[in-house]
Amino acid sequence: MKILRSIILYTVVIIFMFGSPCYVSASSTPQVQAVLHPPQTTLKMGDTPTFRGDVKNTGQETLEGLVVYLSLVSLEKGNEHPVDLEDWSAQKAVRIAKLLPGETNQQQWSMRLISAGKFALALTVVEAGTAKPVISDLLEFNVLPQKLISSTRILSVAIGEPLLIIVLILAVNQGKRLRRKGQQRQKI
């Protein structure tokens, strides 16, 4: 968590200090491309889908010391906010030591979906010595709520418990009656 906060703080400070875009090369386009791919399943609370991120070196020079991390945002209307990945994903940041020209590095992030709603993920790539991170397009996705209570389980408990209590009471009363009858027969 401390590493992720440091990376984000470092990125923000560099952007505010230099203001203008600064890329790996002298050209006006970045040499890194970041793309995030969604899982191919319906997403619902409690699931642990895998999101794939591709980082491609589109330039002519080898890139070194890339740090790649995810950012998660809640897009619930009227309650938009960044989401701390601490509860969602164990693997937050990845370091790519070297990326050759034309090479693509694929990483996978498993995320435990702990809350329902509309969310978006972004993949950010930061290279040491640059002032502007490369950020993928937002990948929007919906997490469906998970039914935590099953009506069949509730019904069986709602009917079964009172019946069990009644049967126990009847059994205890029947036992008392039988003991009384046994005691009366012994007196005679």
Task: With cut-offs at 50, 70 and 90, classify the pLDDT of residue 19.
Answer: very low
Domain residue extents for the chain: 2-143, 149-188
Cβ neighbors of 62 (< 8 A, separation 6 or more) are 98, 99, 100, 101
Task: With cut-offs at 50, 70 and 90, classify the pLDDT of residue 4.
Answer: very low
What's the pLDDT tens digit per position in 24-73?
Answer: 333 446 799 999 999 998 999 999 999 999 999 999 999 999 999 999 99
User: What's the pLDDT score for residue 5?
Assistant: 47
What's the pLDDT tens digit per position in 102-117?
Answer: 999 999 999 999 999 9
Query: Which numeric CATH code is attached to 2-143?
Result: 2.60.40.10
93 vs 69: CA distance, rounded Å? 4
What's the token pair of residue 185? 């027969």
**pLDDT reading at 139 higher than 80:** yes
